[in-house]
Structure 1
């Protein structure tokens, strides 16, 4: 698995790992029931501490993107995740901040919606299996 980490970024490495795995699942690069590299292998591959990868995997598990089995390791969950109040509220909260930041950066509503639509199209109609 290829991850592009920015070690000079203000974004913590475990967050970068988490976000890139989520994007890989959404894009179909990682399929349902596909195994992720072991914590040890991933840490060695990208040159970070085991605890950093472990933190990313645990967050992904808590959020429902992966399952962690002692024998099989980390495996991509069935998709899409269920639409429930918790997930809806999380999305609304993330969007609220993103819209506020976009507004402060001078993006118009039309520009924001155009960017969002183009990005959404990149993930739409993926065969997860």
Structure 2
């Protein structure tokens, strides 16, 4: 798993890690039941504080993307089901992104094309 951290970004590092792991899961780079590096190991690899990795893992676990087992360590969870809280967050994020797209002059057709292309890319591995 290759994560890229931008230390100059206004986005917190734990959020960058969270977002990249979700993208990795959706793109099939991280498979269900795949073991992830320990907090310490990933912190060493990325050169960040262990608490930053721990926070990213905790958020991902809370959201249902990761599972932790004392014997097996941290693994990618089966795809979580849609929840009410996810649906609310999704609608909020979609509204913001749509507003920005409209402000920048994108057409509804361009947006739909982009969404279809991305969704197709994320679901290229139908075995998940």
Name the TM-score, length of structure 1 as normaliser.
0.91
| Structure 2 residue 63 is the aligned partner of structure 1 residue 63 | yes
User: What does residue 37 of structure 1 align with?
Assistant: 37
| Structure 2 residue 20 is the aligned partner of structure 1 residue 20 | yes
Secondary structure, counterpart of 1:116 in structure 2: helix
Flag structure 2 segments of 5+ consecutive residues without an equivalent: none
Runs of 4+ in 1 over 4 A off after TM superposition: none
Name the TM-score, length of structure 2 as normaliser.
0.92
How big is the shift at 1:76? 0.7
Counterpart-to-counterpart distance in 1, 2:103 and 2:51: 36
Counterpart-to-counterpart distance in 1, 2:22 and 2:94: 17
Secondary structure, counterpart of 1:4 in structure 2: coil
Flag structure 1 segments of 5+ consecutive residues without an equivalent: none
Aligned length: 127
| Structure 2 residue 109 is the aligned partner of structure 1 residue 110 | yes
How big is the shift at 1:84? 2.8
Report the aligned-residue RMSD.
1.3
Counterpart-to-counterpart distance in 2, 1:70 and 1:94: 34
